[in-house]
């Protein structure tokens, strides 16, 4: 059984170059959970290239769940639970809508949907960067603000594990410190990711033993990325932290559209 599973794993990553790209993406995922949140979005088009758009979401999901544990353990005291609870109800609705859509489209349309999700996040980020602090405060006080972002985050994380851009905009407009930003985002995404496991296992059926095995191989690289992310948060200044996030999201969205 183990030998059969390992053969299936080799079919997923048949060349040294594929393994190298996969493990580099694992480092990026680790970094995204403990430091530069949206750097994980850069890995999305590479995963789609390696495994196919829809199947890649199942492989990446298990990796994300492993990385989530690293983040929430390290940042367990810095999150704001009230923000998580504001987003969660509408995020669950977004998950279900994404689940229904993803189960009825082919891989090319699925990839397009992933790109659109990230582009929407980019657009929101660019729009928010033009708002004054006073207008931003007025906006985030609206009753529809949190539910809207919750839905967008839930839908985009279901379609392509691409919730980072929209969630980053929401958290940035809340004027959080960088530690609170990372902690609150990590806990919220972890909750959604663990909810997605049975949905993808039994509805999309894109979780496999072979995918689990290559995720286990990636654990040391996830941890390495986590350590790098922690150091980057400590080194980067608040303003630089915001600009790094925006730049990475724009870069990753362009990659997904071009590739």
Instruction: Give residue-wise pLDDT tens across range 23-68.
Output: 999 998 888 777 666 677 778 888 888 888 778 888 888 888 888 8
37 CB contacts (<8 Å, ≥6 apart)? 164, 167, 168, 181, 182, 185, 245
What is d(CA 174, CA 54) in angstroms, rounded to the nearest whole number?
32
- Asked if residues 114 and 49 have their Cβ atoms less than 8 Å apart, the reply is no
Residue 198: its pLDDT value, please? 92
The alpha-helical segments, DSSP class H, found in the chain are 2-12, 16-34, 39-51, 53-74, 81-102, 107-129, 133-140, 145-160, 164-173, 178-199, 209-235, 238-258
The pLDDT of 112-119, averaged and rounded, is 72
Residue 196: its pLDDT value, please? 93
Give Cα separations from 187 to 49, 98, 258 (angstroms).
Answer: 28, 21, 32
> Is the confidence at residue 2, as pLDDT, over 60?
no
- Asked if residues 166 and 149 have their Cβ atoms less than 8 Å apart, the reply is yes
- Asked if residues 37 and 245 have their Cβ atoms less than 8 Å apart, the reply is yes
Residue showing tokens 């980057």: 232
């Amino acid at each position: 059984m183990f030998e059969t599973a390992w053969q299936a794993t080799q079919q997923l990553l048949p060349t040294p170059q594929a393994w190298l790209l996969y493990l580099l993406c694992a480092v990026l995922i680790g970094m995204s959970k403990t430091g530069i949140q949206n750097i994980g979005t850069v890995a999305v088009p590479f995963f789609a290239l390696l495994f196919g758009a829809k199947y890649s979401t199942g492989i990446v999901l298990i990796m994300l769940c492993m990385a989530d544990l690293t983040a929430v353990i390290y940042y367990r005291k810095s999150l704001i639970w009230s923000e998580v609870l504001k987003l969660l109800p509408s995020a669950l609705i977004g998950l279900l809508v994404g689940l229904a859509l993803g189960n009825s489209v082919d891989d090319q349309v699925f990839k397009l949907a992933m790109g659109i999700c990230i582009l929407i996040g980019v657009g929101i980020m660019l729009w928010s960067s033009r708002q004054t602090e006073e207008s931003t405060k007025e906006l985030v006080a609206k009753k529809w603000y949190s539910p809207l972002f919750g839905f967008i985050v839930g839908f985009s994380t279901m379609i392509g594990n691409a919730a980072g851009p929209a969630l980053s905009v929401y958290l940035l407009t809340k004027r959080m410190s960088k530690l609170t930003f990372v902690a609150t985002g990590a806990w919220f995404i972890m909750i959604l990711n663990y909810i997605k496991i049975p949905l993808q296992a039994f509805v999309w059926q894109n979780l496999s033993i072979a995918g689990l095995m290559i995720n286990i191989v990636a654990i040391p690289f996830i941890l390495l990325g986590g350590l790098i992310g922690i150091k980057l948060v400590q080194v980067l200044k608040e303003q630089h932290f915001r600009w790094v996030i925006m730049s990475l999201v724009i870069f990753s969205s362009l990659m997904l559209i071009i590739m």
